[in-house]
Amino acid sequence: MDIYIVGAKAQARICHQTLVAEGHRAPYVFDHDRSVGKPWDCELIHEDSDFERYARKCEAYLVCIGDVGRGQIRVELSRRLEAVGLAAYSAIHPTTFVPKSAKVGRGLQTFPCAVVGDFTEIGDYCILGINCAVDHDGRIGRGVHVMGGASVAGMVKIGEFATIGANATILPGLTIGRNSIVGAGAVVTTDVPDNVVVAGVPAKILRQR
């Protein structure tokens, strides 16, 4: 299957390895940034006017745009690609553990040794970073990015488009608000409202988004 990749940086290169190992190709890659080179033997597209034209040459897509607070962009680009008939591809690294009792959405991207707990629900277009853990009965909204080494305890709810920073810890049963950012290394001990940035041990609100 030919898969259209959006994003040509590090995340795309890692996801490309997963899809190639599963027998797929990624002949076309789109990225607005003209400073990036071709991530592998592919055609690199920069012009937005060519976005859909090259997408139509493929059967599926994967939006490889991570970083902090980019979940909404992943969702918007995914909808644009689905409107031209492409299916969302999930790049799940072979060392990721996802139990049968978990429910995962479309376009999931996972990195080595990510772990999902039993009875967890993960929304569309999420990213689970290297060696992160989302424990049992979690509810993860669409477009969420759980970064490398983060530990999300059981029964945590994370609103759509939120970012959990590298090595952050979320204690059991808490709620992380929509579009909020938990800073790297933070320890979250109370609920986090929508549209804020929190950091520290224990985590406190630094600013509104």
Q: In sequence order, which residues have a C-beta less than 8 Å from that of residue 66 and are 6 or more positions away?
A: 11, 109, 127, 145
Q: Provide the token pair at 69.
A: 């607070």
With H, G, I as helix, E, B as strand and everything else as coil, classify residue 12: helix
The span from the CA of 137 to the CA of 130, in Å, is 20
In what side-by-side order are the strands of the sheet with 121-122? 103-104, 121-122, 139-140, 157-158, 175-176
The span from the CA of 70 to the CA of 191, in Å, is 22
Active-site pick, 16, 93, 136, 145: 136
Burial 30-61 (b: 16+ CB within 10 A, else e): bbeeeeeeebbebebbeeeeebeebbeebebb
The span from the CA of 45 to the CA of 139, in Å, is 36
Active site residue 46: no
- Yes or no: say if 121 and 141 are a contact pair by the CB < 8 Å rule: no
- Yes or no: say if 142 and 123 are a contact pair by the CB < 8 Å rule: yes
The residues that are catalytic are 136
